[in-house]
Amino acid sequence: MKSAADDSAAALVYHNRCFSCHVAEISVGGPMATLAGIPLPMSEPAHGLAGNHSIESLISYLSRDIEHSGTGAFRYSHDAGESAQNIAAFLWSLNRGFLRAESGGAALHDGSGVADAIEFFRNRGCVVCHGDSALAETEFKASRIELQPTDEDGLTMVRISGHPWTFPLPDAEARWMKRRFQPNDPPDEAVAAEAIENGRRNFISLHCANCHRLPDDGGTAHAAAVIPFSISAAAAGRGCLEPSGGTDHSDHPLFHWKPGDRESLTELAGSGAGSGSGIAGQLEVVLNALQCVRCHQRGNRKPDAAAMQEFVSLGEDLGEEGRIPPTLDFAGRKFQRSALVRILTGRGAVRPYMPTVMPAVEAELAGWLADAFAAADRDPKERPTPREGQENLVGRNMWGRELMGVKGLGCVVCHQLNGNPSLGIQAIDLALAPDRLRPEWFRDYLIDPPAFRAGTRMPSFWPDGKPTRGGSGGSTDRQIDSIWAYLVEIDQSRLPEGLNDPSSLLLSVDREPVIFRTFFQGAGLHSLALGWPEGVHAAFDSFSMTLSPLWKGGFLNAENTWENRFTPWTVPASDHSFELFPAGRKPVRLTWNDQPLIPVLSSWRVEPDGAIHIGYAGLLDSRHPVVKVTETITAQTSGISRLMDFSFIGRSAGVDQVHIELPVAGVSSVQHHPGNGKDRKREFLVSRSDGSRLRISAPAGGLELHSIADGLELRLVGEVAEGRQLGVHYHFED
């Protein structure tokens, strides 16, 4: 049976890359076979091994005269004689060349910012491994710090020698770190070329290059030497497991294991069999080797309680959830593979209130970890969502919006949404969920949050799987799927009630007229909303060529057009409006020689003088235009004028005539003013049962009052010939 000691020893094997040399032992099913197929952890390149040491300090370092208290499990050395001196010279020369190529010899260390450094080490979580800020600063000053190119998210990967991972930091912070902790170039030292070359040979012969890659030197490859693994020798404490006082290390370094590590590895070597724990066992070994459990809980392995006190939060009133890194339990069920790979490679931070930086691993290892999490955490009893075979039960965007708002479940009270701050504490942005989470886990978590994260303040609105709120889809699965559907379509949807500010989408008309295409109530699906700075506006139905409604005051709220994909209808941003005809009534009658014409819109534009021109043609059928109509619509503070110019197409002027009727229906009472004088016109004051009134005037003979089945109808009637104009003015009565 596999023991915790086996896991600990296997983690040492993985962390220290033992199978970089002992490849055969992995493949034939020996004690380390449980590690077969796992990508190697990141190793230090040869040019970084010298850190920022001088040759003298490197010799002491390699000879174990300098203690190292970092995160590494061991320190190795050779004798302090000629070979150590040669290797030190070789590593120093590599590091020196790298520094010159990187910075051109410029001084990078300014010696300032000690207070900032203490805050940096605490906020970023360095003290969890390094113990305290002062020790972390000492370690960093002895390390090589490399900055990789900044990515599209503004993050720079920081490589610190001695660490099997990189750290994703904002570019400005990464550069500050480089300046703060990277001392000036080591002073030039007289190093013989022969010593450097001998050191290179020693580096390869002692198998250092099996883990620590050498820089390219003209295409010469340094193949890793495969060292046979002797179980009997290892069990007897020889070879790599030789005690520090031993002398048999002519073909390998002398490893200075920490107390207890040599005994664990010797016991593992003597067991003679692999653990046989499968992918879950492999995953636990790797997580232990990468020291993930220093910050994250997984199963019965929990971070040290004292270390947990070192984490800080930048958020207000978020409690432990805003400070302590999330558990790794259920990670394979929780995340989509692509999201988990992104997180593990340092590109998936979503908690701005949590400054702790999670180290990043290389892409190959991240992919393996994502697959291992998925296999280890798979729940065979997990139910599919309605989207898998039950499409008739899927949720709806509008129900999801209702549920998330303040009159629903109130999600926006605590959670940010698509970059918009919540109404209370600023918890994680829910709009990120569809790109990160599996919908099955999302559903199961919402039903019972404490089952996935003990101590969470997230309540369940579906206790025992039953909804606490009716409507919005009804069933638990459909309500939760509605929230998911809304989050998937968040960029095309209105914000939930509570976050939405209707005034932010009010479209005003300040300096010049506006033509706004939309679905307008009373004007239909082919509407042009016409707005003027004078404060009077109208909607033009480009399908029927009707101008209605007319209104005075604010123009309109564009929310339904811009955020709701045109539903529901756009309406006037005013209570002072007038419908020229009721819904369902055919508004315009355009005929040619008693044959009905089909109006077809052709153009619209705003003129420099503030007039709006709309052009359309009257077609006898879908292919034969008869008349061309150009409308000039202007506004005054008191109302709107409509002037129509007619020209015939392919007809003889004066022979063909067009009859047009523009009705105003739903009239409850009319006051008639016949007019007089040279510019005689007829004028009617039209009143509606709702109290609205509109004065309509046109040339004498153009307006007619007719009785119809449900009341009165006022018609603008014209028999128009080539070049004739027909006009009407609508005047608001306050």
Higher-confidence position of 197 and 582: 197
Find the range with the poorest average confidence among 240-244, 289-293, 334-338.
Answer: 240-244
N-to-C CA span, the chain: 91
**Which of 68-77, 430-439, 571-580 holds the top average pLDDT?**
430-439
Read off the pLDDT of each residue in 163-184 and give the average, rounded to a whole number.
77
Q: What is the pLDDT of residue 274?
A: 46
Residue 488 phi/psi, 5° resolution? Answer: -65, -35
Model confidence at 484, pLDDT cuts 50, 70, 90, reads: very high
**Which of 17-21, 484-488, 584-588 holds the top average pLDDT?**
484-488
| Residue 456 predicted with pLDDT over 70 | yes
**Distance from C-alpha of 270 to C-alpha of 14, rounded to nearest angstrom:** 18
Model confidence at 302, pLDDT cuts 50, 70, 90, reads: confident
Q: What is the pLDDT of residue 539?
A: 92
Q: What is the pLDDT of residue 668?
A: 61
With 0-12 / 13-18 / 19 or more C-beta atoms within 10 angstroms meaning exposed / middle / buried, residue 543 is middle
Among residues of the chain, what percentage have pLDDT more than 70?
68
Q: How many CB atoms lie within 10 A of CB 545?
A: 21
- Torsion sign, CA atoms 205, 208, 211, 215: negative
Among residues of the chain, what percentage have pLDDT more than 90?
13
3-class secondary structure, 520? strand
Residues 6+ apart with CB under 8 A from 181: 109, 117, 137, 140, 141, 143, 145
Higher-confidence position of 101 and 435: 435
Query: Which residues in 602-612 are b (16+ Cβ under 10 Å) and which e?
Result: eebeeeeeebb
Give the residue from 651, 596, 593 showing the smallest Cα distance to 621. 596
| Residue 29 predicted with pLDDT over 80 | no
Query: Which residues in 657-675 are b (16+ Cβ under 10 Å) and which e?
Result: bbbbbbbbbbbeeeeeeee
**Distance from C-alpha of 20 to C-alpha of 517, rounded to nearest angstrom:** 67
The pLDDT tens digits for 314-331 are 877 788 888 888 999 999
Model confidence at 375, pLDDT cuts 50, 70, 90, reads: very high
Q: What is the pLDDT of residue 443?
A: 92
Residues 6+ apart with CB under 8 A from 144: 47, 48, 50, 51, 52, 95, 98, 159, 160, 161
Six-digit token pair at 162?
A: 């001695």
Higher-confidence position of 294 and 430: 430
Q: Which long-range contacts (CB under 8 A, 24 or more apart) does 63-70 make?
A: 64/244, 64/254, 64/256, 68/162, 69/131, 69/135, 69/139, 70/129, 70/130, 70/139, 70/162, 70/163
| Residue 112 predicted with pLDDT over 50 | no
Higher-confidence position of 692 and 166: 166
What's the chain's length in residues? 734
Report CA-CA distances (Å) from 179 to 30, 82, 145, 288, 382: 47, 35, 10, 32, 51
Please say whether the beta carbons of 567 and 544 come within 8 A. no
**Distance from C-alpha of 391 to C-alpha of 396, rounded to nearest angstrom:** 11
**Distance from C-alpha of 9 to C-alpha of 44, rounded to nearest angstrom:** 22
Residues 6+ apart with CB under 8 A from 485: 394, 395, 396, 397, 400
Give the residue from 607, 625, 608, 635 showing the smallest Cα distance to 547. 635
Model confidence at 25, pLDDT cuts 50, 70, 90, reads: low
Q: In the block, which residue shows the tokens 């020689």?
A: 593
| Residue 533 predicted with pLDDT over 70 | yes
Model confidence at 188, pLDDT cuts 50, 70, 90, reads: low
* Helix-then-strand count for the chain, H and E: 21, 25
| Residue 9 predicted with pLDDT over 80 | no
Please say whether the beta carbons of 370 and 459 come within 8 A. no
Q: What is the pLDDT of residue 675?
A: 56
Q: What is the pLDDT of residue 642?
A: 86
Six-digit token pair at 415?
A: 């959670």
59 alpha-carbon distance from chain centroid:
49
| Residue 553 predicted with pLDDT over 80 | yes
| Residue 286 predicted with pLDDT over 80 | yes
Q: What is the pLDDT of residue 205?
A: 79
Find the range with the poorest average confidence among 46-60, 67-81, 239-253, 475-489.
Answer: 67-81
Find the range with the poorest average confidence among 131-140, 552-561, 638-647.
Answer: 131-140
